[in-house]
Every structure is written in C-alpha cells, then in structure tokens.
Chains A and B, each alone.
Chain A
Amino acid sequence: MATMTQTLPSLVKEISQRKIDAYSVVRARSIHTDESWARAKGFRAPLAQGMMSTAYVSEMMTRFLGAGFVKGGTISMAFVKPVYAGDRLTVHGVVKDRQPENGGTRVTVEVWCVNQGGQTTAIGTASGLEP
C-alpha cells in the first residue's frame, strides 16, 4: 500500500558573523571567530559551528513534535561541507519512519541542510515522540 510522504515545513537561516560570535564566543585562534586564523587553516572565511545546524534541526523538530522532542528527542548529523559567515541555509525534513515505543510512537525524520549554492552541508536523522 502506498503511503503519503510527510514533508516538514523548511526553515531558512541567514548565518551572520555576529550570530557565529554569539554561538561560539569570540576567541583568538578559532576558525569560527578569528578570520585570519580561519584563512590560515585554508578556509575562505570564518565557519559556523557545525552544531548550529543541529540547533536548526532542533527548532524544526520542536515545531513538529513539541514536548515529545524536548524530552525524548534525538539528533544524529554529519557535517559534510563548511558553512560560512554570510551563507543562507535551508533546513529540510521528511518523515521516514514511525515505530511504537512505550505506548507512543517514535517518529524518525530525515534531515538535511542546503546552502544558497545548492550544496548539502549537513545530513542525518532526528526523532521524537508523537503526542
């Protein structure tokens, strides 16, 4: 029997240096907050922390599942391309599985982030308990 694909509303995130600074705390010799150090390490600009993408997925999942993500949620992500200050990321999610768990249902979502150039920067899964 065919099943309907459930696509979550996507999120768009503008990554500024100020936001990276707030997330990472400004430190010398950091690829996130020290432009000259980032260039010395071979990057064209300071990088966003990979974990910022997990925060975006967390936002998407909290909107989707609410308390069942905050308590009982999971994220598993790989960061496959750098995200730079000035990039714009779109965060996507598609439900791929529902399984019974402790009298409820665990929903697993495939998640990925794409930059303004169409490159995938992070991929993985997130899950939580459906109300």
Chain B
Amino acid sequence: MCLGIPMQIQEINGNVATAAMSGTALKIYLDVLDEKAKVGDYVIVHAGFAIHRIDEEEAKETLKLFEDAGYLAPNQDTGDSP
C-alpha cells in the first residue's frame, strides 16, 4: 500500500534533501522525519518524503539472526559502507 525505498542522503538544505539510490537522485522532504538526519544516513522514502531513518544497528540485528541460525557466514559482507 505504501511503497518505501531506502535512499542515502547526499545533501540537506532545510527541510529539503537530495537522496540517491542506484545512481538515481531525488529531491526529498524531511518534514515528517522524527529524528535529525545527516548526510550519509539512509532513510525510507515514501511519496517524496523521508518517513524513517534506517537504524543501522537494527538492520544488523536482523542479519545477525540469520547468522545465528547459520543462514549467513559470520563474516559475510552485508552491504556497502555508507
């Protein structure tokens, strides 16, 4: 119902930011984001708005669950560094 894309913030100017994913940059708005975002952060973007700053620790936790269950090699690279 609500498509949301993880994008990385490249530039912030007041309530407006530029965010990118896979080489595509978009102008996004930060009005409803509940915590301060900084350049380099990943946010979930819905209808042009950042609605959530992705919690890196929580993301790692989910992957760690897979690791603990033997689904992932412990040293597997989990993505690009921000």
Decide if A and B are genuine partners: no
Instruction: Give me the interface of A with B, judged by CB distance under 8 Å.
Output: none
Instruction: Give me the interface of B with A, judged by CB distance under 8 Å.
Output: none
